Each structure stands twice: as C-alpha cells, then as structure tokens.
Amino acid sequence: MQKATRNLGKIKKHVALIHCSSDLGLLPRKIANILLHNAISQGERSDKYEISLKNIITSSNYDSNDYKYLKSSLLKLIKTPLELNLFNETFNDEIEWMATTLLSYASIKRDGILSYGYSPVIQDLIFFPEKYALIDLDSFMALKSQYSAVLYENCYRYISLGQTPHWSVNDFRKLMGLEEHEYKEYKDLNKRIILHAINELNSKTNLTITPKTIRHGRKIAKIGFKIEDKSRKLFKPTINDKLSEQFKFNKREIDNLSSKYSNDEINDAIQYVLNHDSYKNGHVNDVKAYLKSALKNKYSKSADNIKLDNPPQASIPRSARRRVINPDMEDELLSYLKSNWHAIIQDQEEALFKSYLKNLGKSDLYAGNGRLNIDAIKIYIDVFAANITDILPDKFLVEQHEKVFS
C-alpha cells in the first residue's frame, strides 16, 4: 500500500470527473481526490485500494479524529450519482450520456485501514485520461467551501488558456451542485455562491479569478471566468503583445523569457531593436534571434556601445529562391498528409507538434489518433510544414523568389 502524504502535489484528473453534476459537499470532494491520488500512485488499476484513515485526515486538513463524519462522507461518495461530462466533451465515441458514483464500495478495518474500489467506468477515466487537467491538490485541500472547490477544479482545467468557456447560468448551477429551487435569481447566485468562491480562490490559491458575463437583453445568460496564474511571472500585456505580434514568439517562448528576464529588461531590448537602423531599414532577417541576442548581452536603448553576438549585418540584397507550400494544392496536401502521416512526420517532429497543440489548448485535436483530424493537419501545415518541404513531392511546392541580406 502506498500512503498519501500532506504534500500531495498534482494529479491528472479526467475532465469528465471535473465537469460533473452532483451535490457532494466539501469533505467528500476532498476525500474523493485523496483516494484518486492514492489509487494513481499505485501505478495500475486494481479491484481494491487501501489507505489509512489517518492519512485521509492529515491530507484533507480535517481537524478531528471523529471517524463518524468520515464514514458519512464515504457513504455519500457511494450513494451520490454523478452525471459525467456535463458539457458534452466527448470521452467515448460510443456513449452519449453516462452516470455513476465515485466509489463502488468502502470498508474500514479495525486497524484504521480503508479499503475501497471503483466501477469500471471510473477506473477507465482514472487510468486512461485522454482529456485531463492537472489539479493542485495542496491548494485544493486548503479550501473551506464546496463551491470554491468546484470552481477551482473547473478553472484550473483551463489555466493554460487563461479563461474558461462561457457556461449557461443553468449549466453553472448544475456544476455547483445546486438544487433546482436554489439561487434561481442571478443576483442571489452571484452574492451567495460566485463572489464567496472567487474571494476564497483569490486569497488562498495561485489563481486570480475574474467573472465575465454575457447578457441576453437585460438578463445575464452566461458566465465564464478569466484566469491568471499568480505563480508564474508574467510580462505586462503590452510586452506580451509586442513579443507575439512583432517578434512572433509563441506562448511557450514567452513563458521561457519571463523566467529569465524582468519587464524592464525585455522592454529595453524591444525598444533597442525597434529603434535600430538595421530593423527600420528591413535588414534584420530574424528579429526573434536579434531580440534574444540583445537580451543575452543586456543590450538596451541606452547601451549603444555593447556589441551583439553575431548581429545581423546590412548588405546588398541578392535574389534567393526557396520552395514553399503551393497554396493552390492545400486540399491535395491535406489528403496526402492524412494518408502518409507517419511516413513523413518523424517522432521528434510529432512530439513537437503535440506540444504546440497543448500550448494552444487544443490537445483534444490529437485524441483518437490525430493524423485523421483535418483541423490538426491544417494547423500543422500553417506552422510546421516548412520543416518538411525538402521531402514533400514537387507537386505540392512552388519556388519563391525573395530579396535576402547577408
């Protein structure tokens, strides 16, 4: 048996288990995640898992040795039905709707050891999570409200995107586990549930949550949340915009820069590059590399005497030819890549592409064998196809003449 510890870290939790409708309460939700963590830590599915009640008490921040309340929480996990996948994100191509309970059984031995098990449905979601979120359990266990706990999981799932989808108010009420008669007016829902949950998440976790509503007429019809990760050092929005729009850095590259340089360092380097004659005259072929070199050498708008590593040099333009994708052959290329994906795309290239999709928040495009997904292949052509022009048949390529500087 592998015991849970106070430092639980993060777990992969299937989105179907996050976007579910049930009124479990706070302690049962905490226990459910502790048991899930304990099962995953064993590394393989089993008919029975074990954990000590003391570990549950310690990990859940439950400040009592009264096992009676723990038992009632376990009973609720066995009895309360979960309507899975509330927002219809396909997790099984053959199943339209599914409901189950979190635990199939639980028993406590006299020595304080809890044995428990899951239904086959839950087992599949635990050990084969095609779509999942990484949930920070240590922050989760510090929460004092069941509504904060639900909102935390559902926001954390979208942390890489910076915002959740907009959910209808009715769906959001289901998500919170509210009864049909509870807080039917949005003003009551906002005052009693949403604001309290947001205040707790903003004060106790690494997230800053801001509600974003959509009105139909005078009535609020949908609600979503903007998400900021306070544990990450982020550049100011204006700097982010310049890095992505003018210098073509992707999100992962910006995150990497933010771990190395301050706002002022980045801003000074940006201003230097933008104000430099080589850039103004169009003599810089790779502005991204130019900016990186400026940062590495602490080059700024006020440090004109520092030399860059291999700075781009202006010279007389010469004509160059390069082969690029023929835009008139896009449909044919889509079909070709779909049929010959693994013959063309190497493992390293495919891993890079999957990572890119993950940064976009579009990992689901690869679920169920991404080579068959036309949307994924279109993204590959837009971003990565330049990496394979040397091995594509000539019919998909055209020569492009351009002026280059060396």
Grade residue 33 by pLDDT with cuts at 50, 70 and 90: very high
State residue 19's pLDDT score: 67
Q: What is the pLDDT of residues 215-259, one digit of tens each?
A: 999 899 999 999 988 766 555 667 877 888 888 888 777 777 776
Q: Which of 133-137, 247-251, 305-309 has the lowest mean pLDDT?
A: 305-309
Strands (E), 264-396: 318-325
The gap between the terminal CA atoms of the chain, to the nearest Å, is 64
Rounded Cα distance, 404 and 319, in Å: 7
Q: In angstroms, what CA-CA distances link 209 with 10, 25, 149, 151, 195? A: 20, 22, 13, 10, 10
State residue 253's pLDDT score: 78
Q: What is the pLDDT of residues 77-121, one digit of tens each?
A: 999 888 776 565 555 566 677 788 889 999 999 999 999 999 988
State residue 71's pLDDT score: 92
State residue 225's pLDDT score: 96
- Higher-scoring residue by pLDDT: 28, 396: 28
pTM of the model: 0.56
Q: What is the pLDDT of residues 42-79, one digit of tens each?
A: 888 899 999 999 999 989 988 777 788 899 999 999 99
Structure tokens given for 23:
């009124």
Rounded Cα distance, 152 and 111, in Å: 34
Query: Is the pLDDT at 24 greater than 90, yes or no?
Result: no
Place of tokens 């080059």: 299
